C-alpha cells in the first residue's frame, strides 16, 4: 500500500533529511482531525504551511516525487482514517494579503470567504453577500465553485494566480466559461490556487449588510448549527433537490456508528457521536445506494474524500 511504502521512507526523525529546507511550518504525521469540520481522519504524512509563494515554489521545485494534497479550511472534505500519504499543503490566512482597488478585490487563497464578504461590505462592493455564511477559504471555495442563493464564486471572479506542482506561477483569466460549472472547477487537481481577483458592484454598505442579514436568517432556519458537518454532502442532481430524494428513501435521521443524517437538513451528514471517517463514508454510500435503487438517480458526492482507509 502506498501509505506503508512512504511510511518506510519517511520516519519522524528522517523527515528533515528528505524535505527541502523551508521557512514555513513543516511537520511529519500532523494530526488532521482538528483541521476539518467533520473532526475525523488520520494524520498527514508530511504537512506544509508555506510562508509565502516563494517558499512554496522553492519547496515544490525540490520535492521528491510524492503525492500532493491541498487542504483549505477543511469544510468540504472527508479525511479518511488512514490519513493522507505524501505531502499535504495548507495555505494560511497569512499567506497573502487582501487588497481593494476601486471595484476589484485581490485575496490570498487562505483567507476565509466570510472575510472577503465583510471587506466587500465595508468598501461598498456588492455581489459577495452569499459568501458570508460559507465557512471555507478562498482557495477551497474556488476549487468547489462554492455558492448559495443562486450565485457561485465564479460569478464574481476575474482572474486566478495558481501554482503548478512544479512550482511555477500562472495567471488565468477566468472569463472562460468552461472552467466552472455548478460546484465544479475543471482546473487540474494538483494546481494550487494562490490568489484570486474578484469584481464587485458599487452599492450602499447598509444595503449589503441587510442582504447578508437576510441570508443569515434563511441559513439558520434551514441548517443545523454547532455540529460537525461538511455542509451539503451530495450535489443537487439537475432539476432536483437532493434532500427530497434522501427524504423519499427514508434516510433522514439514519445512522451508521457515530454518524447520522441531520434531522434538520437531510443533505447534511453529521458526526454527532464520535464517528470515524469510515462511518461517515458508509452512511454516504448507503444513502447513494438507496436513492439509486428506489429512484434511479445516481448521486454525486460534493464532499471530497481525501487520503486512505485504515
Ligand atoms: C456548515 C457548512 C455550511 C456550508 N455551506 C455551503 C454553502 O452554502 N455553499 C457551498 O458551496 N458550500 C458550503 N459548504 C461547503 C464548504 O464550506 C465550501 O465548499 C468551501 O468553499 C470549501 O472551502 P475549504 O477552504 O473549507 O476547502 P476544503 O474543504 O479544505 O477543500 C475542498 C477542496 O478544495 C481543494 N482546495 C482547498 N484549498 C485549495 C487551494 N488553495 N488550491 C486548490 N485547491 C484547494 C481541496 O483539495 C479539496 O479538494 C458548507 C460547509 C459547512 C461545514
197: in domain? yes
**108, 199: one domain:** yes
**19, 73: one domain:** yes
Q: Chain centroid to CA 289: how far?
A: 25
**36, 67: one domain:** yes
Sequential pLDDT tens for the chain (310 residues): 444 545 554 555 466 567 888 999 999 999 999 999 999 999 999 999 999 999 999 999 999 888 999 999 999 999 999 999 999 999 999 888 899 999 999 999 999 999 999 999 999 999 999 999 999 999 999 999 999 999 999 999 999 999 999 999 999 999 877 899 999 999 999 999 999 999 999 999 999 999 999 999 999 999 999 999 999 999 999 999 999 999 999 999 999 999 999 999 999 999 999 999 999 999 999 999 999 999 999 999 999 999 999 9
**68, 152: one domain:** no
Does any ligand 1 atom lie closer than 6 A to the CB of residue 107? no
Q: Of 39, 58, 90, at which residue does a domain stop? A: 90
DSSP E strand stretches across 37-117: 44-49, 68-71, 77-79, 84-90, 98-101, 104-108
Instruction: List all residues 6 or more positions away from 235 whose beta carbon is below 8 Å from its beta carbon.
Output: 182, 183, 242, 299, 300, 301, 302
Q: Of 90, 114, 144, at which residue does a domain stop? A: 90
User: Looking at the 3D structure of the chain, how many domains does it have?
Assistant: 3
Q: End-to-end CA distance of the chain: give it in Å, rounded.
A: 11
C-alpha cell, 63: 520535492
69: in domain? yes
Burial of 93 (0-12, 13-18, 19+ CB in 10 A): middle
C-alpha cell, 290: 438507496
- Structural domain boundaries, residue 279: 226-306
Q: Are 302 and 233 in contact (CB under 8 A)?
A: yes
Question: Is 57 noted as a catalytic residue in this protein?
Answer: no
**65, 141: one domain:** no
Catalytic annotation, pick one of 232, 260, 262, 276: 232
CATH number at residue 20: 3.30.43.10
**61, 109: one domain:** no
**108, 73: one domain:** no
Q: Chain centroid to CA 6: how far?
A: 25
pTM of this structure: 0.95
CA distance linking residue 136 with residue 189, whole number of Å: 17
C-alpha cell, 297: 438517480
Question: Is 183 noted as a catalytic residue in this protein?
Answer: yes
Catalytic annotation, pick one of 45, 121, 281, 302: 302
Pick from 200, 205, 212, 155: which is nearest to 180 by CA?
155
Question: Is 114 noted as a catalytic residue in this protein?
Answer: no
| Strands 169-173 and 157-163, sheet pairing | antiparallel
256: in domain? yes
Amino acid at each position: 500500500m502506498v501509505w506503508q511504502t512512504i511510511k518506510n521512507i519517511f520516519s519522524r526523525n528522517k523527515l528533515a533529511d528528505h524535505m527541502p529546507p523551508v521557512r514555513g511550518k513543516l511537520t511529519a504525521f500532523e494530526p488532521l482531525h482538528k483541521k476539518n469540520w467533520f473532526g475525523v481522519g488520520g494524520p498527514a504524512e508530511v504537512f506544509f504551511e508555506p510562508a509565502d509563494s516563494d517558499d512554496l515554489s522553492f519547496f515544490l521545485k525540490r520535492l521528491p516525487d510524492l503525492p500532493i494534497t491541498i487542504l483549505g479550511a477543511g469544510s468540504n472534505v472527508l479525511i479518511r482514517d488512514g490519513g493522507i500519504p505524501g505531502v499535504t499543503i495548507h495555505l494560511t490566512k497569512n499567506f497573502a494579503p487582501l487588497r481593494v482597488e476601486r471595484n476589484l478585490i485581490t485575496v490570498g487563497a487562505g483567507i476565509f470567504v466570510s472575510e472577503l464578504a465583510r471587506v466587500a461590505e465595508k468598501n461598498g462592493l456588492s455581489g459577495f453577500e452569499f459568501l458570508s455564511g460559507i465557512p471555507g477559504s478562498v482557495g477551497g471555495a474556488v476549487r468547489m465553485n462554492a455558492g448559495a442563493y443562486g450565485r457561485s464564486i465564479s460569478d464574481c471572479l476575474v482572474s486566478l494566480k495558481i501554482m503548478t506542482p512544479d512550482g511555477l506561477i500562472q495567471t488565468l483569466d477566468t472569463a472562460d466559461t468552461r472552467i466552472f460549472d455548478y460546484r465544479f472547477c475543471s482546473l487540474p487537481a494538483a494546481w494550487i490556487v494562490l490568489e484570486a481577483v474578484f469584481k464587485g458592484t458599487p452599492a450602499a454598505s447598509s444595503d449589503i449588510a441587510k442582504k447578508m442579514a437576510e441570508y443569515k436568517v434563511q441559513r439558520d432556519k434551514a441548517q443545523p448549527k454547532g455540529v460537525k458537518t461538511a455542509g451539503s454532502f451530495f450535489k443537487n442532481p439537475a432539476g432536483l433537490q437532493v434532500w427530497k430524494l434522501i427524504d423519499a428513501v427514508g434516510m433522514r435521521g439514519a445512522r451508521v456508528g457515530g454518524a447520522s443524517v441531520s434531522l434538520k437538513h437531510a443533505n447534511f451528514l453529521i458526526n454527532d457521536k464520535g464517528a470515524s471517517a469510515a462511518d461517515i463514508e458508509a452512511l454516504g454510500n448507503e444513502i447513494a445506494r438507496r436513492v439509486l435503487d428506489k429512484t434511479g438517480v445516481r448521486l454525486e458526492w460534493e464532499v471530497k474524500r481525501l487520503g486512505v482507509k485504515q
